[in-house]
Amino acid sequence: MEKIVILTGAGISAESGLGTFRDEQGLWAQHRIEDVATPDAFTRNPDLVHAFYNARRAQAVQAQPNAAHEALALLEREFSGEVLIITQNVDDLHERAGSQNVVHMHGALKRALCHACGHRWDAPLVMDKGDECPACQAHATRPDIVWFGEIPYGMELIDPALNTADLFVSIGTSGQVYPAAAYAQHSRRMGARTVELNLEPAEHSRDFEEHHYGPATEVVTAWVADILAGQV
Ligand SMILES: [Zn+2]
């Protein structure tokens, strides 16, 4: 086994205190997706969209990586082959835990994007529709987040990785958001062994050959320990 591709979702950051779509108390519960996470929403009400992402950014800055993020960073350091993390998360907890090979398919709270010229830069903690693009001076800055209806980032890296993975592992995803929900089936068809690590079975659970259910800090650390023990 030489290549491990790992898809992570909100479930891996939940124990760091960052809410998931499904939390009844979380930030997401207070807004409809179509009001805060689509290009149309931003056109209609940029103040609301910025306020929503400013709140999420403030939460993410306070959050700390947990044992599951740290276990994946350890795996990348110690595994003899290649480890790629494809994350749906917009926090930077994988990087802060020490992972280096990370694709943020849904963008990043830490980054800003100019709608006018496409320039990207480090976002301030609080973004505002009046912010000026440092490259073209347009007042058209938005969070560098892939919204519903937009094309995810990194597809040029993700597709070849899925095609050549020996092991595909999905961690903390509910299997409701495409294209990521199709990755397990795709990588399995291309010859990868597929493993699900989740709090509870995902909607597409049958796409996986192996399942471990429980909190991410427990099932991910145990799984990484098994993989590293098995390569000796
Ligand atoms: Zn610009």
Mean pLDDT of each 10-residue bin along the chain, 232 residues long: 95 87 64 90 95 93 97 98 97 98 97 96 96 95 95 96 97 88 95 96 91 97 96 70
In this prediction the pTM is 0.94
How are beta strands 167-171 and 210-213 bridged, if at all? unpaired
- CA–CA separation, 57 vs 55, rounded Å? 5
Residue 227 near residue 213 (C-beta atoms within 8 A): no
Rounded Cα distance, 53 and 73, in Å: 27
* Backbone Cα Rg of the chain: 18
Number of H helices, E strands in the chain: 8, 9
Is residue 106 flagged as an active site residue?
yes
**Ion ligand 1 — residues with CB < 5 Å:** 114, 116-117, 119, 133, 135-136, 138
The predicted pLDDT at position 23 comes to 61
Q: Residue 113 Cα, ligand 1 centroid: separation in angstroms? A: 8
Å from CA of 118 to ligand 1 middle: 6
Catalytic residue among 50, 94, 104, 106: 106
Check if 1-15+65-105+153-232 and 19-62+107-145 are the same fold.
no
- Assign a CATH topology to domain 1-15+65-105+153-232: Rossmann fold (3.40.50)
Specify the CATH number for 19-62+107-145; select among 3.40.50.720, 3.30.413.10, 3.30.1600.10, 1.10.15.40.
3.30.1600.10
Q: Are 143 and 50 in contact (CB under 8 A)?
A: yes
Give just the sign of the alpha carbon dihedral 58, 121, 44, 174: negative
